[in-house]
Structure 1
Amino acid sequence: MGVAGELSRIATKGAWAAGAALAAGGLAFGYGLSERNRFQVRHESLAVLPRGAAPLRVLHLSDIHMVPGQESKRQWLRSLAGLRPDLVVNTGDNLSHHDAVPALLEALEPLLEVPGVFVPGSNCYFAPRLKNPLRYLRGPSGPPRSAARDELPWRRMHEAFGSAGWINLSNRHQSVPWGPLRLDFSGVDDPHLGRDAFAGWPRGSSTSGEAPHVRIALAHAPYQRVLDTFVDAGADVVFAGHTHGGQVCLPGYGALVSNCDLPTWRARGLSWWEHSGREVPLNVSAGIGTSRFAPIRIACPPEAVVVTLTARTA
């Protein structure tokens, strides 16, 4: 075979390899587009209530990233009311489009009739931007620069949540009577934007000492500094989102990134966060949506989480 023939053979082999890579990439992208709508409900149980207390069914929602026209997501969110939660915990990133608030509120309408608490994420405040996804492998994405900030109608969303009775816990705390218990909530504004400022726990009313207290902490992004603060302050359980569970995971390995300093193996699910000799259950939701500029999930289906809080046995 002459030089020309060898060059032709190499070129043909390279073309086949490139074609195979493109085909594999296309299949992966197609699968990722499909998996983003394979909604599921994860169930967990935590014995954190005082002895003898009745179970408390908490529905944890996070990272909805609503965009107008997402009918499958809308219908699935509405169906979650059928789980009959006692409390809804929403850990932010509800929007991914300027015109998404009506669609979001319509999807959440049945759940807005349930008592709820919430904290915002960066994609409650600002619209997502087109980014190179490989940047996430270098570390967490930074907050948007002032010149690039495209503010979303978060005030309208928060007003609607508040009108429905959901409690805004952005650097705030509040105590709520729950039968013979008091649920002490404390949340922080989005740590990913550096807006977090822990407000401590509510002092309660003059008669609040007559009821056992359960301390529930919320944050959008589970940065270690925030989790350490919650644990040191005596939280009984922590809820967070932000990670998307990694969004693109390797089967048998898991998340490649968490988009914060949380270890990637904790990017989805229930684990125990330990600090200064104390550990607290931490539920990190893999989230329900994605940025509209990266609408795929691989080996990481979207989820809502039902965490049933039960009484301690000892």
Structure 2
Amino acid sequence: MPVASGRSAHPALIALGAVGAAGVAAAVWGIGIERYLFTLREETAPALAPGSAPIRVLHISDAHMAPWQHRKQDWLASLAQLKPDLVVNTGDNLGHRDGLEGIRRSFDPFAGIPGVFVHGSNDVVGPSPRNPLRYFLGPSKKQQEPETLDTEAMDRYFTEELGWTDLDNAAARLTVAGNTVDFFGVNDAHRDWDRLDLLPAAISDLGAPDAGITKLGVTHAPYQRILNGFTSLGADAIFGGHTHGGQVCLPGYGALVANCDIPLKQAKGLSTWSHGARSVPLNVSAGCGHSIYAPVRFACRPEATLLTLTPRA
């Protein structure tokens, strides 16, 4: 009786097919699902002067807003229901020439809540297509012929309509939840627009140093020179963005790139930054958006942070 014969698939082909299927599944998840899984991360950090009332800070970053991104706009607007004492916006709000339309829809509910902001480069110039593999070669380079965005209109909206304070290479003193708080910040360090050298005089202009006044540093790109400079200037906590938390991360490992020189383990979340004899809380937001040319998030959900600052022991 003839015996039926046949050949099973080669193990290498099976493995190749499995890898391909996993890649397709990861792409579907990262492009079609995870980038819409907006998440509120809640943290607590001791950073205020002793005896201060706690301050609930909503930290928003890297919206990279395009006018058609209604799910992101609705989620951002809903965060006003948290009734934060302060909004810290660490830049890269715009992701399209008409992005301010979506920013207005997102932030209108925050009018009247004290806020501060700094610029990222995508508040000034529009995004452009990039090869994502180049991020593994180091921080991205500036575009040769960038599209200029309407930064002045965005700034007028933030300052005149929302009542927020611009901290680009500047300092300011505000009353937040009954506390006097000094803020200082820099423009985008990724583009070398930061002027740390201007901050000592700006801080001095706020008034005589007072141990009872909390000091908060705000930057878009958390380069080490900025974090060290802020710590030396007396910051009690530091806020940064820019990294997107790595955007496409390795599950169980974390960020593979940060697009700046911050240690990868501190590319997102709450950690401690130490310089000289001082250590201060550092919150780096993974951001809630992405470039319209890289619409993906993997093992790194879009986020905002509700960070409650409490008195130091």
> Helix, strand or coil: the match of 2:68?
coil
Task: Report the identity percentage.
Answer: 47
TM-score after normalising by structure 1: 0.90
Work out the CA distance in 2 between the residues paired with 1:52 and 1:279. Answer: 20
Work out the CA distance in 2 between the residues paired with 1:252 and 1:117. Answer: 34
Structure 2 CA distance for partners of 1:197 and 1:161, relative to 1, 3 Å? same
Work out the CA distance in 2 between the residues paired with 1:170 and 1:220. Answer: 10
Backbone CA RMSD of aligned residues: 2.1
Structure 2 CA distance for partners of 1:204 and 1:181, relative to 1, 3 Å? farther
1:109-133 CA-partner distances (Å, limit 9, x unpaired): 1113311000010111111111111
Counterpart of 1:216 in structure 2 is 216
Q: 1:16, CA displacement in angstroms?
A: 6.1
Q: Which runs of 5+ in 1 are unaligned?
A: 1-7
* Contact preservation (8 Å) 1:60, 1:304: yes
* Contact preservation (8 Å) 2:219, 2:239: yes
Q: Does 1:26 align with 2:27?
A: no
Work out the CA distance in 1 between the residues paired with 2:41 and 2:171. Answer: 27
Counterpart of 1:112 in structure 2 is 111
Work out the CA distance in 2 between the residues paired with 1:224 and 1:302. Answer: 24
Work out the CA distance in 2 between the residues paired with 1:213 and 1:144. Answer: 41
Counterpart of 1:133 in structure 2 is 132
Which deviates more from structure 2 when the two are superposed, residues 274-283 or residues 261-270? 274-283
Work out the CA distance in 2 between the residues paired with 1:143 and 1:30. Answer: 30
Work out the CA distance in 1 between the residues paired with 2:278 and 2:209. Answer: 24
- The residue type equivalent to 1:266 in the other structure is Q
Work out the CA distance in 1 between the residues paired with 2:35 and 2:155. Answer: 26
* Contact preservation (8 Å) 1:221, 1:241: yes
Structure 2 CA distance for partners of 1:178 and 1:272, relative to 1, 3 Å? same
Aligned residue runs from structure 1 range 201-240, under 5 A: 202-203=203-204, 212-240=212-240
> Helix, strand or coil: the match of 1:110?
helix
> Helix, strand or coil: the match of 2:182?
strand
> Helix, strand or coil: the match of 2:272?
strand
Q: 1:17, CA displacement in angstroms?
A: 5.8
Q: 1:144, CA displacement in angstroms?
A: 2.1
- The residue type equivalent to 1:26 in the other structure is V
- The residue type equivalent to 2:147 in the other structure is D
Q: 1:94, CA displacement in angstroms?
A: 0.4
Q: Which runs of 5+ in 2 are unaligned?
A: 1-6
Corresponding residue pairs, total = 302
Counterpart of 2:3 in structure 1 is none
TM-score after normalising by structure 2: 0.91
> Helix, strand or coil: the match of 1:113?
coil
